[in-house]
Structure 1
Amino acid sequence: MTTRRTTRRTPRLTIGLPVYNGEEYLAESLDALLGQSYEDYELIITDNASTDGTPAICRKYVAMDARVSYHRLPENIGAAGNHNHVFTLASGELFKWASHDDLYGRTLLERCVEALDEHPDLVLAHSYNATIDSAGRIIEPYDYRIPTDSPSAAERFRGLLYASGGDDFYGVIRSAALRNVKPHDSYHHADRTFVMDLAMQGRFHQVPELLYFRRDHETRAERANPSVRSRCANLDPKRGKGFNPTVRLLAEYAWGYVDLINRAPVSRAEKAKCYRHLAEYLSSRVTRRVVSADSRPAVAPTEQVLSIDGIVPGRPVRS
């Protein structure tokens, strides 16, 4: 079922928001997206057969803003399937996934699109980010040390391989680059290999402003699904059935790296370096050796941000 207010011209950017039972934070997230300074976009919501108040919230926003469309799936196809599905509906030359519980600084889209326009070789642009709690209070800024802006694919590969975090998955991405990578899979850490696949297409850029706020709360998928198998079943309900032991899910994860290196549009020399980095990484996982991820200094905003108020649309401006 699809709900759309009006037909409008093709926008430059598509925001895809897959959701399942997101009533608690969805409206706040939509307010932050619809209050962006950059306005040439469509916002497509794909609902994974939610059983809470999500549909009513979505229809309310469709009625409020012509840029919003709402698609309700007849059954839950899992988080991975829903993320892939919303991209198939996109028409923009640029694409961004959005999470129903995260928040976004008012100029996030504007700054990311500016970076992509200024540097045609970039495939993705994002911003510095911080973790917030359920009330929107900043818990901890993330120090981005990953060399995803390196001209070397092998250096980008190694940096992401050992990275402990970062939210590049939620950056603004060139749709053409997204079509060159495999769809999001449902094995353990499939999001990591997906971002790595994108990084093999070209460089990333981090806007030096704190504009993306990842919400940590009790019902977030990562916390609600503590085991490898439960996390994978959240990505694809079929993973919770049949023969899907943890060892298989981990083996698929390792093979995902091999496969993306094989398909990468880079030189043989760069691929050879990637294979050496992967062998070192897998060996360190087995032997529990600690390997330094990157010697780059911490990257942080030039001014410390203590509150998202006044930065995120819908939040009060405090004097």
Structure 2
Amino acid sequence: MNKNQPRLSIGLPVYNGEKFIKETIDSLLSQTFEDFELIISDNASTDNTEEICRAYVDQDKRISYYRNEKNLGCAINFNRVFELSSGEYFKWAAYDDLYAPDFIMKCVEVLDQDSSFILCHSYAYFIDEYGEFIRNYDVHLKTDSLKRHERFHELLHKHLCYQIFGVIRTSALKMVPPLGGYGHTDGIFLLRLGLLGRFYEIPEYLFFARKHPQQSMSMFVDDYLLFANKDQKYSLSMMPDYYAYSVWFDSSNEGKIMLPHWRIFWEHLLSMWQSSLSLYEYIYCFRSMYQQLRGNEYFLLQDLLRVLQTLWQRWRKVLIES
């Protein structure tokens, strides 16, 4: 390893984050673990984000700032900060979240001590726009299982994908496809990492996820969805809008005909196929998928009906204009 190469790279993608990004950067710079680089990729912000970030670059040589000419969507910007990284470990950071000072140190210690863990994160709780405590996030998955199919089963459950903001081995990240431009891509990404190795959850509240009205795309669905028993089914009112998520993750999806729920189903199958599972593991994973899908077939049908409606509207428009 190059002596100038940091052990950890932190990637911070941002769009119009002037209200909170200073707090987030200060939280990262206050970490007791200091051997890191902070890579900021600005998705063509129209507020004062650029000025704030460039001021930090002048203050700390560990920080670098990049700016996209146009908003490319969340997924591309997330992928970009990883592509620019050089550390042995990598961590994504949202522009509005905060961390306890020893969050990174404790995560790195876990990964240093046990090579079977490829990702380390901690308990989390929600804070409001003023940084005040709202409630604990009490969804805990058994992703430390030694069995791949059990980790797959756990990551199919309802959760907010906060593990993605943990510390991750760069070598593992290079073995899975990057975040895609479709709804629930963060969940699929974690699922694929889970098929590679174990996650460790530090039983301390070291990560503080902010909930606020300014979020570009609310990552908070109905409270019942967040804290319900894992075995309960989705209802229509609880289901995220994966059409909107697809555009948020990739702005080029705007106006396209999409089958977001079919895409998620396909990506789950692809994840299994690419992981070289044993026959027993395949059967177990298919069983887990069937359990999740059963009773929610409506969403697959909804995709098809929406496509037919869109095609019908476009055909009528052509007839009227001709």
Alignment of 1:115-134 (within 5 A): 115-134=110-129
Q: Structure 1: where are the runs of 5+ without partners?
A: 1-7, 289-319
Measured in 2, the distance between the counterparts of 1:12 and 1:156 equals: 27
Q: Secondary structure at the match of 1:86?
A: helix
In angstroms, what is the RMSD of aligned CA positions?
1.9
Give the aligned partner of residue 228 of structure 1: 242
SS across alignment from 1:75 = coil
Aligned position for 1:22: 17
1:242 matched to 2:256: yes
2:287 corresponds to 1:280: no
Paired residue for 1:82, among 77, 86, 107? 77
Could you tell me which residue of structure 1 aligns to residue 135 of structure 2? 140
Q: Which amino acid aligns with 1:39?
A: E
| Structure with more of its chain in helix, by fraction | 2
| 8 Å Cα contact 1:187-1:250 kept in structure 2 | no
Measured against aligned partners, the alpha-carbon deviations of 1:24-45 in whole angstroms (never above 9, x if no partner) come to: 1000000000110000100000
Displacement, 1:212? Answer: 0.3
Shift of 1:284: 3.5
Residue 36 of structure 1 corresponds to which residue in structure 2? 31
- The whole-number CA distance in structure 2 between the counterparts of 1:84 and 1:104 is 22
CA contact (8 A) 2:183 2:249 kept: no
TM-aligned CA distance change 1:101 to 1:111, over 3 Å: same
Q: Which residue, out of 271, 283, 295, partners 2:282?
A: 271
Using the TM superposition, name which of 31-40 and 161-170 deviates more: 161-170
Q: Deviations over 1:276-318 (max 9, x none)?
A: 1112211142389xxxxxxxxxxxxxxxxxxxxxxxxxxxxxx
Distance in 2 (CA, whole Å) between partners of 1:155 and 1:284 is 22
**TM-score normalised according to structure 2 size:** 0.83
Does residue 174 (structure 1) correspond to residue 185 (structure 2)? The answer is: no
Structure 1 SS opposite 2:196: coil
Structure 2 CA distance for partners of 1:69 and 1:187, relative to 1, 3 Å:
same
Distance verdict in 2 for CA 1:265–1:233, change over 3 Å: same
CA gap of 1:32–1:230, structure 2 versus 1, over 3 A, is: same
Other structure's SS at 1:163 match: coil
| Deviating more after overlay: 120-129 vs 276-285 | 276-285
Contact map agreement 1:229 1:240 (CA 8 A) in 2: no
**Aligned twin of 1:53:** 48
What do residues 191-219 of structure 1 show as CA deviations (whole Å, max 9, x unaligned)?
11111111111100011211100000112
The SS at the match of 1:229 is helix
CA contact (8 A) 1:78 1:235 kept: yes
Q: Which residue of structure 2 aligns with residue 211 of structure 1?
A: 206
Deviation at 1:224, TM superposition (A): 8.8
Q: Which residue of 1 aligns with 2:319?
A: none
Give 1:223 shift.
2.5
- 1:257 equivalent to 2:268? Answer yes
Secondary structure of the 1:223 match is coil
Aligned-residue offset at 1:242: 2.7
Rg: which structure is higher?
A: 2
**Equivalent pairs, count:** 279
Structure 2: 5+ residue stretches without partners: 221-239, 300-322
- 8 Å Cα contact 2:161/2:187 also seen in 1: no
Moved more, 112-121 or 182-191: 182-191
Runs of 4+ residues over 6 Å off in structure 1: none
Question: Residue 187 of structure 2 corresponds to which residue in structure 1?
Answer: 192
Question: Sequence identity of aligned pairs in percent?
Answer: 40
Partner of 1:38, secondary structure, is coil
Secondary structure of 1:50's counterpart equals: coil
Q: 1:265 to 1:168 in 2, by over 3 A?
A: farther
